[in-house]
Chain A
Amino acid sequence: MAVLSEEPKRIVREEDGRFRVNRGGYFDRDVFERERRDLFGRTWLFVAHQSEVPEAGDYVTRRLGADPVIVVRDEKGDINVLGNTCRHRGVGLCRSDRGNASHFRCSYHGWTYANTGDLVGVTAVSEMYGPGFDKSRFPLYRAPQVDTFCGLIFATWSADAPPLMEYLGDAAWYLEAICGSFDDGLETLGAPIRTLVNTNWKAETENLGGDGYHTPVTHQSAFVLGMFAGPDDWQRMGTVVAKSYKGRVVDCGNGHTFRVHQLPVATLRPAFFGYPQKLWPEITRNLDPGQIDVQARLSVFHGNIFPNFTIIDNFKTDTEGKGSATRYIRITQQYPIAPNVNEMLWWGLVPRGVDPLWREQSQRAWLRTVGPAGLFQIDDNENYVSFASGHSGSELADEEIVLEGGLDNAIATDVNWRGKVYDADKSEQTMRAFWREWSRYVEGGQRESNGSAR
């Protein structure tokens, strides 16, 4: 841990109807170190999808905050998030990205751990340590709290963090509307894609958290190329009830935010365009009326679970050529490597056991739009990367960005959804919610629990 300055610069400034964020909030080294300690050491963080570790012994290697961990299902079926570092001399235990193992044996001196984290074998133990060596003193370091919701496995380094469901709050209702729609849940399409992008990790989370303002500008080419359903498509889907899409942004508290963008069509029964029609009854059965209203006639749903887990559920047209239409779900996790270097993990999710041809089509849809080479993503990336290079100086690096869009947004009164739902598609409510929560962790008075997580 680097030495932190005693008088940190103030990043979030909210006063008299103004909302500004000092650019150091993204690219200042001191701020970055504070984030590592005060944010990533204390919040819940996504680590894996349940379908990646379905059987006893299945594991994947990930990071929890900055630290390498093994996410492993033990013989009892419990999921453990273990520090990928031997208690003896600190060597990494597991070098592959995924696999199946009942035990992890260190390559240096052979200390061996069960997949529960318990130390079960020490080489030449009596010769080395004498009689009575107590192996129970040295289990692997572990995340003190691990929990799963709708197939999403989260963990935290903090023993003091509230339980996951309390942490998610109203956001759980929205996650369930996406990930809890199907009888057998969702599964990943396979191993996550991993990329490095030269920008701050918050560039992606702010955008996915609810930026409907950038869509017609950054993604104008996608409209031209037919990837948004237009009036002709709406006619075929139902009764057209408005001239354009309807969008709302949602602040769920605790920094979790969403944007829900819906097709301007009315249908006799709830319609989940893009999903195979034979799955529609499952969706209706598994969700409550408010959640069905979120899912039905969905154009795009996207959001951020504070601090660094994004989800997007998207209805897209023409990804397979003219006239095609499908849904996809993409989730990402941001690992801050440096103030201006972000490692991103990307997964596609599909209903478990879905028809293989639909599965492939859904995979292609997300890759072609928001995959690393996708039409939307490359234009987003250009924004993210030039945002970082725009802050390489010194005079302007200390100036502020402006997050004052939609200060007067009204609460939506026409839907029965959870959280604070704003009747606005273009708004910066979601970014303000993110930064307020960020400030509470990084700049706030909650420093008492920044000691050992264990």
Chain B
Amino acid sequence: MTGATIPRRATLRPFATAEVRHEIREFLDQEAEMIDDRRFGEWLSIVAADFTYRMPVPVTPDNPATPHYDARAFIIDENRGTLAEHWFRRYESDMWEIAWAENPPVRYRHFITNVRVRETEIEDTFDVRSNVIVTGTRQSDQPTPLYVERFDTIARQDDGWVLRARFVVPESTVIDFAQLRVVL
């Protein structure tokens, strides 16, 4: 598995410049818009070939100094290829009759805040930590919120910014959400 760095909270490197922070903040908002609008082709164009999307299993540990997740067990473990072929493919019109959970689709809305951009040992690659709420609304149900902490790896390439890895830790140990099949 390449491209996925499990974040170490203890290693807090310096914040990036204001210019980089501003550009990445814009990038995150635009990236979320593509997901919420279900513009998956565009989204794939700003995601690295070795992109991984992972969500570990949250736990309440007995040692308060350890993180509230199990680093070996996952809820979601996908890559760019599986997202394209198994997730987004189901939204295409020839699948409407059989992709039961996507028709009608759950409506998702991202709310992104507390964005912090830190340098890494690699030039033009940044650790981006944010607090995120995503609401999911299934048919006539009321919206359900999912509260997560998000750790992204974002890099600058010749043709713009690219998302290299996303690691999402849910706040609650019991997931109560409309439909978890979404890039949070």
Please report A residues at the B interface, Cβ cutoff 8 Å: 95-101, 188-196, 218, 220-221, 224-225, 319-321, 343, 348, 360, 363-364, 367-368, 371-373, 375, 378-379, 381-383, 385
Total A-B contacts with CB atoms under 8 angstroms apart: 103
Complex contact A100–B62 (CB within 8 A): yes
Residues of chain A within 8 A (CB-CB) of B63 are: 99
Which residue of chain A is the closest to B89 with respect to CB atoms? A225
Residues of chain A within 8 A (CB-CB) of B179 are: 378, 381
Tell me whether B95 is interfacial, beta carbon within 8 Å: yes
Tell me whether B19 is interfacial, beta carbon within 8 Å: no
Measured CA separation A360–B79 after assembly (Å)? 13
Which residue of the partner chain, among A190, A196, A368, contacts B176 with CB atoms under 8 Å?
Answer: A196
Complex contact A190–B61 (CB within 8 A): no
Complex contact B175–A221 (CB within 8 A): no
Q: A96-B62, A225-B85, A225-B89 are in contact. Are A190 and B101 (CB under 8 A)?
A: no
Complex contact A224–B98 (CB within 8 A): yes
Which residue of the partner chain, among A99, A100, A379, contacts B100 with CB atoms under 8 Å?
Answer: A379
Residues of chain A within 8 A (CB-CB) of B180 are: 195, 372-373, 378
CB distance from A338 to the nearest CB of B (A): 13
Tell me whether B124 is interfacial, beta carbon within 8 Å: no
The 30 listed contacts between A and B (C-beta, < 8 Å) are A96-B60, A97-B59, A98-B61, A188-B73, A189-B72, A190-B57, A190-B70, A191-B59, A192-B57, A194-B175, A195-B174, A196-B174, A196-B176, A218-B100, A220-B98, A221-B98, A225-B86, A225-B90, A320-B82, A321-B85, A360-B77, A364-B74, A368-B86, A371-B75, A372-B75, A372-B175, A375-B86, A378-B101, A381-B101, A385-B138
Measured CA separation A372–B73 after assembly (Å)? 13
Measured CA separation A189–B75 after assembly (Å)? 11
Which residue of chain B is the closest to A348 with respect to CB atoms? B73
Complex contact A373–B73 (CB within 8 A): no
Residues of chain B within 8 A (CB-CB) of A367 are: 74-77
Q: Could you tell me which residues of chain B, from 143 to 184, have a CB within 8 Å of some CB in chain A?
A: 173-176, 179-182
For the residues of B in contact with A, the DSSP-based class is mixed
Q: A218-B100, A371-B75 are in contact. Are A360 and B62 (CB under 8 A)?
A: no
Measured CA separation A189–B1 after assembly (Å)? 17
With most chain A CB atoms within 10 A of its CB, the pick from B76, B78, B86, B181 is B86
Residues of chain B within 8 A (CB-CB) of A193 are: 57, 73, 75, 175
CB distance from A102 to the nearest CB of B (A): 13
Complex contact B75–A96 (CB within 8 A): no
Tell me whether B48 is interfacial, beta carbon within 8 Å: no
Which residue of the partner chain, among B59, B72, B75, contacts A373 with CB atoms under 8 Å?
Answer: B75
Complex contact B100–A190 (CB within 8 A): no
Residues of chain A within 8 A (CB-CB) of B16 are: none
Q: Could you tell me which residues of chain B, from 73 to 126, have a CB within 8 Å of some CB in chain A?
A: 73-78, 81-82, 85-86, 89-90, 95, 98-101
CB distance from A66 to the nearest CB of B (A): 15
Residues of chain A within 8 A (CB-CB) of B59 are: 96-98, 191
Which residue of the partner chain, among A97, A224, A375, contacts B173 with CB atoms under 8 Å?
Answer: A97
